[in-house]
Amino acid sequence: MGSILLVEADPVISDQWAAALSAAGHSVLTAVLTREVLPVIREGGIDAVMIAAYDPRVGIIELARSIEALPDAPPIVLISGSPEAPEISARIGAAAFLAKPCDPVDLVTVANRLVGAVRPVRIVEDDPSGRSRPLI
C-alpha cells in the first residue's frame, strides 16, 4: 500500500489511527506538530498527508501552500471538528475532508482511495500494429 504521514497532537488518537492504517497495509509516519511535516515530505516517499487540526484557521492554509510547492507533493486530507474546516478544506484543495471525531475505518477508506489514485500507468508500444496497451 502507501506511505502515510499522519499529523495528530493527541497521542491516543494518533496511535488508534496509525494502528488502523498499518493494519490496512500502509506504512505510517506520525508527527505531532505541523512544523514537522515539510522536512518529512522533503525526504520523499510520502503518498498522502493526513492532518488533524483543532483550528484549521491557524497555519493550515500556509502549510498546504508549502506542501503544494514541493516536487511530487502528496495529497492532503484535512481532519477537523471546526465549523470552518469544510470551507478551509475546499480552499486548500484537500483531496478529502473528514469531520472529527472520525472513525479509523473512514481514515483507511480515504487512504486506500488516495494511494490507489497515485499509481502511475505506463504505456508500452510493443504491438507491431502500433496500438498501445497499458502495462500495470
Per-residue pLDDT of 13-60, as tens digits, reads: 999 999 999 999 999 999 888 788 899 999 989 999 999 988 777 788
End-to-end CA distance of the chain: 15
Report d(CA 74, CA 125) in Å as an integer. Answer: 29
| pTM exceeding the 0.85 threshold for the entire prediction | no
Percent of residues, the chain, with pLDDT higher than 90: 63
pLDDT at position 130 is: 55
Which is nearest to 16 in space by CA: 134, 101, 121? 101
Please say whether the structural domain 3-135 has been given the CATH code 3.40.50.2300: yes
Residue ranges per domain, the chain? 3-135
Query: Does residue 74 carry a pLDDT above 60?
Result: yes
Beta bridge partner(s), residue 5: 29, 49
Report d(CA 104, CA 121) in Å as an integer. Answer: 30
Query: Does residue 122 carry a pLDDT above 90?
Result: no
For 76, phi then psi, to 5°, come to -110, 140
- The arithmetic mean of pLDDT across residues 107-130, rounded, is 66
pLDDT at position 119 is: 43
Report d(CA 1, CA 98) in Å as an integer. Answer: 21
Please report which helix (H) or strand (E) contains residue 6, including its range. strand 3-7
pLDDT at position 128 is: 56
